[in-house]
Amino acid sequence: MSMIRDLRAAVRPSLRKESGAYSSYDTTRDPRAASAVVDCAVYRDGRRVSCDETLTPHEAMLQVRRDGGFAWIGLHEPTEAEFAGIAAEFGLHPLAVEDAVHAHQRPKLERYDDTLFTVFKTIHYVEHAELTATSEVVETGEVMCFTGRDFFITVRHGGHGSLRALRRRLQDEPELLAKGPSAVLHTIADHVVDGYLAVADAMQVDIDDVENEVFAATGKGVSRGVDAGRIYQLKREVLEFKRAVQPLLRPMQLLSERPMRLVDPDIQKYFRDVADHLARVQEQVLGFDELLNSILQANLAQAAVAQNEDMRKITSWAAIIAVPTAVCGVYGMNFDHMPELHWRYGYPMVLGLIATVCYTIHRTLKRNGWL
């Protein structure tokens, strides 16, 4: 027990300082700055019963404990001090709190007492007119979810992936929202995975464009490929996509297969659909990675073929030039007794011989594909 207390003290020093201060949610943020709490509401029987925009998480939980329902609190990049009071109010585990505040976590599902902690990587496709060696194709963010019996907390990091539209859409389906916090967790998971599908389709277009450029023949029938930096940059972006998708598959399978007290049985069935869509995206991403490897190898091979073609042409012209060089070198020697040296027609005959031999070599090399 002492080891556990020491661990909690190490990862949660701010909460120890805030003991008893459950209504204090921000002690360091500039009062003129926007609050990290994006939205805070109480839902009962699938409908939002609190319309006060200034409702605090503490007041929301008082309503829930008095009248039932659950509280849904959304935060965007909270500071440690901001999140300390909320963590104490809802009894969140210090390890999960640390992950939620500092972000940069891999997708995962963890259970702490009566709370599920889920991390999703959000992916946003960055529009670009032309793919270059420095183009940013995907932008990542994170959504951390705390699912309890009577509360649901989202902590979002990054400039995209707002959940406002999702909250409004879910509020239009009271029969689904009536299932409790697990319904919100499923909706967010489905929303994130649908984003993966859209990004995968957009990246497929980029990969197809690069592939077409690599295998497009020039006017002479020899493709010199494309800038390898473009392919490598696209491969790096696919790797970033892969890091978001692959680790999430196991958590979605657990939510769809293993009974959990915090997940409504009716909602658990819907996680199977999310897991299926995620498996499809994973297959696409793995296919992208393998295809880009093949494209990169083909591009390098084409560059080598083009270089070999250039060397063949250089060698061919060197062979042609060698004929007049040799003949002129022989007749440039200072000897009196040389064949046809004083013959009147010797000079035009040698020029004709050089032209004939060079023409014959040129025709032969061209017929063999060297020129």
Domains of the chain: 34-303 (3.30.460.20), 304-368 (1.20.58.340)
Tens of pLDDT along the chain (371 residues) come to: 333 334 334 333 333 333 333 333 333 334 444 568 888 999 999 899 866 667 888 888 899 899 899 999 999 999 898 899 899 999 999 999 999 998 888 999 999 988 999 999 999 888 877 777 777 888 889 999 999 999 999 999 987 778 888 999 999 999 999 999 999 999 999 999 999 999 999 999 988 888 888 877 554 455 566 777 888 888 888 999 999 999 999 999 999 888 888 898 889 889 999 999 999 999 999 999 999 988 888 888 777 777 777 787 888 888 878 888 887 877 777 667 677 777 777 778 778 888 888 888 888 878 877 77
| Residue 139 DSSP SS3 | strand
Q: What gap in Å lies between CA 169 and CA 326, rounded to an integer?
A: 86
Spatial contact of 278 and 248, defined as CB atoms under 8 Å apart:
yes
Those residues with Cβ within 8 angstroms of residue 361's Cβ, 6 or more apart along the chain or in another chain: 319, 320, 323
Residue type present at position 69: G
CA dihedral angle for residue 157, residue 159, residue 161, residue 166, rounded to 10 degrees? 100
| Residue among 360, 357, 371 at smallest CA distance from 316 | 371
